[in-house]
Copies of this chain bind each other. A is one copy, B any other.
Amino acid sequence: MPDTTGPDREAVRLILEKVRAEGRTSLTAPEGRAVCTAYGIPTPEEGLAGSPEEAVRLAERIGLPVVLKIVSPDILHKTEAGGVLVGLTTAEQVADGYRTIVSNALRYNENAQVLGVQVQRMLEEGQEVIIGAATDPTFGKIVAFGLGGVLVEVLKDVTFRLAPTTTAEARSMVEGIAAAEVLRGVRGAEPVDAEALALLIHRVAELVTDFPQLAEIDLNPVLATPAGATAVDVRVVVDDRAAVEPVRLSQEEILASMNRIMRPTAIAVIGASSEPGKIGNSVMRNLVDGGYRGDIHPINPKATEILDRKAFASIADVPGEVDVAVFAIPAKLVPRALEEAGAKGVAGAILIPSGFGETGDHELQDEVVSIARKHNVRVLGPNIYGYYYTPERLSATFCTPYDVQGGVALSSQSGGIGMAILGFSRSSGMGVSAIVGVGNKADIDEDDLLTFFEADHNTQLVAMHLEDLKDGRSFAETAKRVSRTKPVVVLKAGRTAQGAKAASSHTGALAGDDKVYDDILRQSGVIRAPGLNDMLEYARGLPLLPTPRGENVVIITGAGGSGVLLSDACVDNGLRLMAIPSDLDEAFRAFIPPFGAAGNPVDITGGEPPSTYRDTIALALRDERVHALVLGYWHTIVTPPMVFAELVTEVVEEYRAKGVHKPVVASLAGDVEVERASDHLYRNGIVAHPYTTEKPVAVLGAKYRWARAAGLVPG
């Protein structure tokens, strides 16, 4: 019976004290069961027997058939040790069984301390599921849910959330596995009690949150029936290291520093140089050439003037406040210079040099961080190209300046990826608010950037390349908040490289897996990009598309063949093709040839004049039941590419002027003129690509994923 009076924390505390006192790292089965009971997690009726006779007495009291399980702190994998017997139906079997499993256990581990044999009621049949909790290196306490046995172990059909969970989140786990249909009942089976499962997940999450030293918990199997759920076997691993929490700054502290770093009034370049080719020269040049209007102070003891700016021997000599110090000096010189910059009161130290953690010199990096902490300086890097903030015309980098202002903020953990961001932006004319290299992330990380970009009116979307998260929990919480108003796109690299893990529970073995990232990022409303180019295309396209007001997507195409591929792409991207109501269908038919197909896709056929495209697109924009448009263009002499591009731009603008804002994307099939036509459309807010049906739909799909997670798309 689930108990609703709240958990008995005192009971758990006492058990954990005893475990600690005995120097153990895991709970015995009876202890595990007691912990469950304290948190209202049902377990089967049972008892601990110290002899074959006691086992028989217990079995007769509980009711046959029973299950016998070895109880030993030294044996975690009971089945492997031959320490489990099921379906014992007579007293004789129980007595024999006791003797068998004790001797099996001792054969398995002759030094095992055997505390007795657990006699457990054998439950009626049900659906086996696994519920667990673990301590993830990135996200801290997480809970896991999956179907039992093969499905979790072989097919990895398992889902994760941060602990604690709301009951809605716990419920979403029960519904979120691939095989969820099994729980809803297949082949006429009754559905299991999903609420009971959600409650169990919720309570396990509460338990590990209350007692963070619980490093791993497996309820495996949990037997789910239409009437409830019972944890048949419980495994609990204790580890004090699992209770350590990362230090976090407050939002106010982060913003105070980040505002000074991103919108500085004065910058010092430590290691500024007049010599072309030097990093200290490139940084100076880019600050000047980029058009930064604040003060630029070159710091170089050997110079008096650099690029027409007075040079200082030390940052200490600079008159007035300095917000940012850009370091363009070798790694080993950084600590001393950082002491000076800290004393001067800079808000941010931009550490371009490499030669820290990434080359194995963690000590030097730690030293730098501790100097920065002492002076309340935030460190960006080390090992970075620098950063751009276009509203301030700030290009604090040794790469080339970038000045196309716009709403997209990007960051990268890798310099190479930063350069790809820069090249793609320039090539596509993408409007950017910021590009930031975070490198080794000795201090400033994605979490700090998100906090700044959230408040930054110049930023509409944040796109981040990352290989790891220093504090995944904090990132997830921040991203959840930010993504309610601004899309957060993440390219998580290294998703297929799975670190080796030593864990003694199923759930523990799954921590650190990419699926954990995937589930938690999605729960945080983050749009995960499958690859670099996708991240860039999402970043470029999403801010142009209005937020859809509903799920009804309509494809209008001049090429039936494109229509089929666009439909495929819609399904692949989780978009719902509108079931066209008959009045709308008739209205479409009025514009298209009799052999054209209405329905969805609306196939206007290939030989049609511009007016057919225009009329059908206008109709879809006008009809309030339609929420998004996917256009398929087929190059013909009757409607050449630029004519199509111009008519689409016109009709979309006409309706925008009337207050109709719907996302429109287009796929252009045709000879090379479709490239210019696509560019024209893109410049006018219509996400358009030539020679691909996949890309424009993927961008629309990403917009929908964001809008749904942000709660902006009605049912």
User: Which residues on A are within 8 Å of B, measured CB to CB?
Assistant: 79-80, 147, 149-151, 153-155, 157, 178-179, 181-182, 186-188, 277, 282, 354-355, 358-360, 399-400, 412-417, 419-420, 422-424, 426-427, 465, 467, 491, 493-497, 530-534, 536, 557-562, 564-565, 567-569, 571-572, 594-595, 606-607, 632, 634-635, 637, 669-675, 690-695
Which of chain B's residues have a CB closer than 8 A to the CB of A632? 416
Contact for A419 among B178, B427, B669, CB less than 8 A: B669
Which of chain B's residues have a CB closer than 8 A to the CB of A150? 147, 151, 179, 182, 186
A277–B560 touching, CB < 8 Å: no
A416–B561 touching, CB < 8 Å: yes
Candidate in A154, A277, A690 with the most chain B CB atoms within 10 angstroms: A154
Which of chain B's residues have a CB closer than 8 A to the CB of A491? 565
Which of chain B's residues have a CB closer than 8 A to the CB of A153? 186-187
Contact for A671 among B426, B493, B691, CB less than 8 A: B426
Besides A154-B182, A400-B671, 16 more A-B contacts (Cβ < 8 Å) are A155-B155, A155-B178, A355-B595, A359-B595, A416-B559, A416-B560, A419-B669, A419-B670, A420-B562, A423-B674, A491-B565, A493-B561, A497-B564, A531-B692, A531-B694, A536-B691
B181–A635 touching, CB < 8 Å: no
Distance, CA A264 to CA B181, complexed state (A): 58
Distance, CA A607 to CA B557, complexed state (A): 49
Contact for A562 among B282, B414, B560, CB less than 8 A: B414
Distance, CA A558 to CA B414, complexed state (A): 11
Which of chain B's residues have a CB closer than 8 A to the CB of A670? 419-420, 422-423
Q: Could you name 14 residue pairs across A and B whose Cβ atoms are closer than 8 Å?
A: A149-B186, A412-B561, A419-B669, A419-B670, A422-B671, A423-B671, A427-B675, A491-B565, A493-B561, A493-B564, A493-B565, A497-B564, A497-B568, A532-B694
Which of chain B's residues have a CB closer than 8 A to the CB of A422? 670-671
Distance, CA A673 to CA B419, complexed state (A): 11
B565–A531 touching, CB < 8 Å: yes
Please list the 10 inter-chain residue pairs (A to B) with the smallest Cβ-Cβ separation, ordered nearest first: A414-B561, A416-B559, A359-B595, A420-B669, A496-B571, A416-B634, A533-B692, A531-B694, A493-B564, A416-B669
Given the interface contacts A155-B178, A400-B671, A494-B568, does A416 sit within 8 Å of B606 by beta carbon? yes
Taking the closest CB of chain B, its distance from the CB of A117, in whole angstroms, is 21
Which of chain B's residues have a CB closer than 8 A to the CB of A360? 595
A634–B531 touching, CB < 8 Å: no
B694–A533 touching, CB < 8 Å: yes
Which of chain B's residues have a CB closer than 8 A to the CB of A695? 533
Which of chain B's residues have a CB closer than 8 A to the CB of A424? 690-691
Distance, CA A465 to CA B417, complexed state (A): 34
A559–B426 touching, CB < 8 Å: no
Distance, CA A354 to CA B359, complexed state (A): 66
Given the interface contacts A179-B150, A674-B423, A694-B532, does A669 sit within 8 Å of B417 by beta carbon? yes
A637–B277 touching, CB < 8 Å: yes
Taking the closest CB of chain B, its distance from the CB of A407, in whole angstroms, is 20
Which of chain B's residues have a CB closer than 8 A to the CB of A569? 531
Taking the closest CB of chain B, its distance from the CB of A667, in whole angstroms, is 8
Contact for A423 among B187, B427, B690, CB less than 8 A: B690
Which of chain B's residues have a CB closer than 8 A to the CB of A594? 359
Which of chain B's residues have a CB closer than 8 A to the CB of A694? 530-534
B692–A634 touching, CB < 8 Å: no
Distance, CA A151 to CA B399, complexed state (A): 53
A532–B565 touching, CB < 8 Å: yes
A186–B154 touching, CB < 8 Å: yes
Taking the closest CB of chain B, its distance from the CB of A448, in whole angstroms, is 20
Among residues of B, the one whose C-beta sits closest to the C-beta of A533 is B692
